[in-house]
Structure 1
Amino acid sequence: MKIRRLSPMLLLAANACTMTPKLTLPSPPVASAYPVAPVGSEGVPEWREMFGDPRLQRLIALSLAENRDLRIAALNAEAARAQIRVQRAQSLPSLGVEGGYTRQRQPASVVGAGVGLTPGSNGAKGFEFGQFTAQAVLSSFEIDLFGRLRALNDAALHRYLASMEGQRAVRLTVIGAVADAYLAERLADEQVRLTEATLADWRTSLDLTRRLHAAGQASGVALAQSEGLVRQARADLAQRQREHAQATNALTLAVGAPAPADLPAPVGLMEQPIPIALAAGTPSDLLFRRPDILQAEQELRAANADVGAARAAFFPRISLTAAFGFASRALEGLFEGANRSWSFAPSITAPIFRSGELRGNLELARVRGSIAVATYERAIQTAFREVADGLAASATYGTQLAEQEEAVRQAETRARLAGMLFQAGAASRLEWLDANRTTYAARQAALIVRREQLASAVSLYRALGGDVDTRSAR
């Protein structure tokens, strides 16, 4: 049979109908606007613009090369792409070339006269003969009349696109995690230095109090108060050092490798150039920006294609096996025109009784489609909540930090005045020590608020989808 005779069937397969239902994405199950109006006017910046600290930039760049979660996501995307090739191969003809030699013996009663055959050895009543073959084979090619293979191809494609969006989501998560860990490490480091400086001041005060107590010019209460402050500062220092070591370990884990020795000098928390106000746009913008929402959308499209494949399984499958080649008893004349051979074996398989398997598969595909819809809607709701939380934080942390910084200034003024009054004999030493303790606590609180403000900006950046130097697979 000529190969060209197969072309009508191949054309028919290419124009096969589809059983995949038309997909309409659900409306976003969130409000049309955020509870707190965005205050930023610029778009979401690229991550190098978002995080201007050169030390943090180096760490983020290192994490994008070394983080194991990102490597796993990239490998998952590669696996999904390979699965596309595997699935598409099932929709194309499988051609192969075969060559062989067969020798056999048949009884004379079966072969008949045995013209041209060689009698068997030992005078046995039978004949032996050999045959050389060479042929091209089309193996079990399914003609996709009802779109089953096409639906499976679509499902594999959308799962690959979902894996690409998942890789973007992991990349954005890694950037945010490194920034969070870096801010936590900076907070711990500055708290250690603040505690060390405070401890040094309080030790000096304790030495003076001891000398005054020995001279009868300071009470035992004042001495006990000074010793208590030093003890508390020592305890705080041990806690801060522990927190700094743990924060450094967390940063190393987030980066995926130890920090290089030649990192730029860090920028202090109060001077961090991280923009606090970001333009959030509208909730509908998240549908095109958040990689986790795009990932959920692609998973929904894949589940919808699975429904089409399950529907098509109810219809007959038509497959074709064919071969064209040459067969001859002698190798030297194998490719002569008279030795041409061919075979053509179309087949059709129609399901009649499968004990409810096909209907169960269809119902399972539909349920998984409903799960994918709910997952998509939940991703939108989660994104809306995260952005709303970030906007609320952006609107309030500025006021909180300003008030806390003013509280620090007032505490420092009180401590300075209390010291002057104490030296003039107009205030007790206990009042001066209490003012110093209040100043120390206010400074610690200011560092914590600043770190929380910066962390909320990082969270908002991540909630808005960020700019991670990759284009959406949408």
Structure 2
Amino acid sequence: MLTRAHTMTMTLTRHARHAAGALALTMLAACASTAGLHTHATALDADRLEVSRSLSTTALSAEAWPKEAWWREFGDPQLDELIEAALDGQPSLGVAEARVRQAQAFAGVAGAALYPQVNASLKSTRQRFSEHGTVPPPIAGTWQDINEMSLGLHYELDFWGKNRAAVDAALDRAHAAEVGLHAAQLMLTTSLARTYLRLDLAYAQRDLAEDTLKLRQQTLELTRRRVVAQIDSQLELTQAEAALPAVRERIAAIDESIALLDNQLAALQGKGPDAGLLIKRPQLAGVGPVAVPANLPAELIGRRPDVVANRWLVEAASQDIKVARARFYPDISLNALVGLQRLGFDNFLDAGSRVLGVGPAISLPIFDGGRLRGNLGVHQADYDAAVEHYNATVIAAVHDVVDQLVSLRWLQQRVHEQDEALRLSQHAYDLARARYRSGLANYLQVLSAEGQVLAEKRRVLESQSRQRELRLNLIRALGGGYRPASGPAATAATRVPTRGSKS
């Protein structure tokens, strides 16, 4: 006579064989149903972007990568304080930090699927049973208390890696959000530094306007003496007097610009307008020689936060494809139940009230009208889009660096010509004033020569400011001192298939 345990063993064995057969057929069907679905995009190999000729006139140095606190290069303690205050109090960074926490929380939610889920329940119901229902007398037609207490366990056996891939996708997106925070910090600090450079230019332009006002006042006094000496007429005197309000208007416009820039700097710090009133005149150091890293563009893809973030999003899209593929296969889980169940409260805790159950559960996708194929196609298209966006970001990053170098190179030539133009126009102005003092030239000649000098001086000031701004742009283009942490973030590029490699 077979024991109950032996009978149950034979039954489970028979069920296992049927289940194995069903799994094999389902796997074959799943493999066939994904036929013709594949990705099309491959990531760009940055080493294939030729830059050697574009960098041939620029000094190369392995130490040319920006430092983490790159703004200290400008040698202005006030700028250091403003940037540190912005990093501590700017609300936009708070938003980016919240997105990081949100992405990390999503990763935690996805990771829960890798572990058994245990749930407890307690239920008590007062119920009248039908006299004509399926429950026989003496229960039929009576009111009874139905009491249940159970502890259930559910664990999905992740044979196809669906849950693991979902966790990896969530973690990749969390990494992208973390790098996005660095990108937001770089955008904030460079915006603040750029505004600070413009403030420095505004003060220099104000100095030039003040010097111009003094010169025109001196010219006015000279013209008055010439009128007394009957060398000039009231026409020249009126022209000399009219030149002063125009300069004062220029000074007022510059003062407005300074006040607005101070206000903008206060806003970038996340502070009120009064904080801008405390900002003093910038004291910037000169810009040093320009050099770029010798290992461009290979290392640039790991130094630019926007490139690294897009690389992580490619990784996440790749894991989403694995999840979508795994959905073609059956979901297999193990379920267990232990608890108590009884009519009434008498002997509810007795051993005879216990309920026990354990067994596997299989969910088979047989026919879904193309939903799974469509879902896989969507994620494959998302992957292609992420890869191409990554490629575009890499190309833009390399061109961004070269653009700043091109502008710096040609600016040097422009500065040389501007210096020569300023020297000649200043000499012409000195000659015109000398001739005017001696009565050999009229006021219009002096005013014309003065206008040329002022125009050239403005161009020189703008070029000096432009040189600093291009240096700032180069720092931004090189990643602003960002370095990925060791581990997956530093090696993610090797997991992204590149053109010419097998995917």
TM-score, structure 1 as length reference: 0.83
1:420 is matched by which residue type in structure 2? A
Tell me which residue corresponds to 1:120.
Answer: none
The structural deviation recorded for 1:196 is 2.7
Tell me which residue corresponds to 2:150.
Answer: 135
1:83 to 86, 89, 106: 106
Contact kept, 8 Å, 2:297 with 2:398, in 1: the verdict is: yes
The structural deviation recorded for 1:179 is 0.8
- Report 1:220-369 matches (<5 A): 222-223=236-237, 225-258=239-272, 259=275, 266-267=282-283, 272-281=285-294, 282-328=296-342, 333-344=347-358, 346-369=360-383
* Per-residue Cα deviation, 1:190-241 (whole angstroms, up to 9, x for no partner): 2123213312331342244245325422145533542453344244334433
1:391 is matched by which residue type in structure 2? L
How many matched pairs? Answer: 448
Tell me which residue corresponds to 1:6.
Answer: none
1:177 is matched by which residue type in structure 2? S
Seen in structure 2, the aligned counterparts of structure 1 residues 51 and 183 have a Cα distance that, compared at 3 Å, is same
Deviates more, 1:194-203 or 1:248-257: 248-257
Contact kept, 8 Å, 2:303 with 2:482, in 1: the verdict is: no
2:150 is matched by which residue type in structure 1? Q
Seen in structure 2, the aligned counterparts of structure 1 residues 294 and 34 have a Cα distance that, compared at 3 Å, is farther
Seen in structure 2, the aligned counterparts of structure 1 residues 275 and 175 have a Cα distance that, compared at 3 Å, is farther
Contact kept, 8 Å, 2:200 with 2:281, in 1: the verdict is: no
CA-atom RMSD in angstroms: 3.4
In structure 2, C-alpha distance between the alignment counterparts of 1:171 and 1:381, rounded to whole Å: 22
The structural deviation recorded for 1:361 is 1.3
In structure 1, C-alpha distance between the alignment counterparts of 2:129 and 2:200, rounded to whole Å: 89
The answer to whether 1:39 aligns with 2:53 is: no
Structure 2 unmatched runs, 5+: 1-15, 17-30, 491-503
2:394 is matched by which residue type in structure 1? I
Tell me which residue corresponds to 1:12.
Answer: none
1:252 is matched by which residue type in structure 2? A
1:137 is matched by which residue type in structure 2? G
2:476 to 462, 466, 469: 462
Q: SS of the residue aligned with 1:101? A: strand
The structural deviation recorded for 1:103 is 4.1
In structure 2, C-alpha distance between the alignment counterparts of 1:164 and 1:218, rounded to whole Å: 72
In structure 2, C-alpha distance between the alignment counterparts of 1:339 and 1:24, rounded to whole Å: 62
* Per-residue Cα deviation, 1:370-410 (whole angstroms, up to 9, x for no partner): 11111011001110111001112233333433443444344
* Per-residue Cα deviation, 1:243-281 (whole angstroms, up to 9, x for no partner): 3344334333333324366556521xxx53444514333
* Per-residue Cα deviation, 1:305-362 (whole angstroms, up to 9, x for no partner): 1111111222222234421123455758544444432123543222222222221111
Q: SS of the residue aligned with 1:283? A: coil
- Report 1:130-169 matches (<5 A): 130-139=145-154, 141-169=155-183
In structure 2, C-alpha distance between the alignment counterparts of 1:199 and 1:347, rounded to whole Å: 90
Deviates more, 1:144-153 or 1:293-302: 144-153
1:143 is matched by which residue type in structure 2? L
In structure 2, C-alpha distance between the alignment counterparts of 1:71 and 1:102, rounded to whole Å: 49
1:280 is matched by which residue type in structure 2? P
Tell me which residue corresponds to 1:58.
Answer: 81
TM-score, structure 2 as length reference: 0.79
Structure 1 unmatched runs, 5+: 1-8, 10-17, 118-124
Identity of aligned residues (%): 29
